[in-house]
Structure 1
Amino acid sequence: MYFAKITNSYNAKNRLQEYLSKQLKSLECLTVEDPKAFKKYLETTVHKANLKFPRCRPLVSYLHPAYSSSGFSAGVSDLIQFNLYELRGRFEPTQSPAPVHPNEMVQTSLFS
């Protein structure tokens, strides 16, 4: 399981980059099962955008292993970069305490 975080995003220079920037910013704080599936999603999104805006210079997506940890670095050309951080533990929901009736509450004090 990986956590996707945008680390760099640059200003859009044309309509293709504006369109992709809006599409890819929705991936912020997303949990990802497989980094290769994340790259495949980036590839298909970029390919569709390149076809939609043929007059702009086409962009490419990438996925590289991270230098310092067991995560990955992914992105689209010079537009946006994601880091995929590996989650080490499992997040479990916290158990809510049993409800207390207002008449049963005891007020405590530092002074006796």
Structure 2
Amino acid sequence: MTKYFAKQVGFYQPKNSLQEAISGLFRGYDQVLIDDLEAYRLRIDKAVQECNEKYPRCKPCRVDLWKFTNTIHTISVKTGTGMSEFTLICVNIYKVLHYLETPVFKELVKIDVFVGSACSGKTRKAREMYEGKEVVWIDGRKAKFGDMPFLLNEVTFSTECIIIDDVPNKLLPMVAIRFFVEKLTINRKGHAPIRVPRPKILIICSEDVSHLPPLPSSFLSHFNFVTFPQEGGENHAE
């Protein structure tokens, strides 16, 4: 079953009541998993048209959908034409490869997420857990998952865990969506790509749980959260 993940990537300050209304309704279309891309577009188009009708004195907005790559589509809300065209909102729709809607698969791909403030022992705990195992560490602040094709080039068939450390909380959905798969495609410099079974994934967030973005239930079912208090407290699994 093909799934898509919607992420708002562009937003501009509304200039009138119509644009404010459209900006508000888009909160319900951001960071969600999608079964039917066309149905998702039609829902947005209908909502925008209803806003146009509610504010007839404002210049109307329209919805555009275009294919950026084989795995990424873009939906944008625009107003005006020609030189006066203005893009209010831009949403990228990412195809989630090899997504299977089964309980066994959901448990298989569950991702551990450590959350806690600085100096709460998250990274130390991760090192203790995977001491002596084959682990690939990734710097979550420097990694650009969409622009770095060789980011996982150290991953092999024997890799037991990928740990992405110091991920800004707001980027958790964007980092995690890459790993909702059974197998990873590993691009290797100077060699042909390989596909390996996805190892265990651990994401270490840089802030405490209060700074996590709102996450839909479709996302929460894929995470095992462990919260870390300040040094000296006890951590809690959720």
Query: 1:14, CA displacement in angstroms?
Result: 0.3
Query: 1:47, CA displacement in angstroms?
Result: 0.6
Query: 1:75, CA displacement in angstroms?
Result: 1.8
Query: 1:90, CA displacement in angstroms?
Result: 2.6
Query: 1:70, CA displacement in angstroms?
Result: 2.0
Check the 8 A contact 1:6/1:81 in 2, yes or no.
yes
Check the 8 A contact 1:70/1:85 in 2, yes or no.
yes
Q: Which residue of 2 aligns with 1:82?
A: 91
- The answer as to 2:93 corresponding to 1:93 is no
More strand by share: 2
Question: 1-side partners of 2:98 and 2:57: how far apart?
Answer: 46
**Structure 2 portions without partners, runs of 5+:** 79-86, 109-238
Query: 1:27, CA displacement in angstroms?
Result: 1.1
- The answer as to 2:9 corresponding to 1:7 is yes
Question: 2-side partners of 1:29 and 1:15: how far apart?
Answer: 24
TM value normalised by structure 2: 0.38
Higher RCO (C-alpha under 8 Å, 6+ residues apart) = 1
Question: 2-side partners of 1:19 and 1:8: how far apart?
Answer: 16
Query: 1:94, CA displacement in angstroms?
Result: 2.7
Check the 8 A contact 1:6/1:82 in 2, yes or no.
yes
Question: 1-side partners of 2:66 and 2:91: how far apart?
Answer: 11
Query: 1:39, CA displacement in angstroms?
Result: 1.2
Misfit runs of 4+, over 3 Å: none
Query: What does residue range 51-70 of structure 1 map to in structure 2 within 5 Å?
Result: 51-66=53-68, 68-70=69-71
TM value normalised by structure 1: 0.77
How many pairs were matched up?
95
Check the 8 A contact 1:35/1:72 in 2, yes or no.
no
Identity %: 28
User: Could you list the per-position Cα deviations for residues 30-84 of structure 1 after superposition, in whole angstroms to 9, with x for gaps in the alignment?
Assistant: 1111211111111100110000000000000011011x34221112111111100
Question: 2-side partners of 1:24 and 1:46: how far apart?
Answer: 10
Larger Rg: 1
Q: Secondary structure at the match of 1:56?
A: coil
CA RMSD between the two structures: 1.8
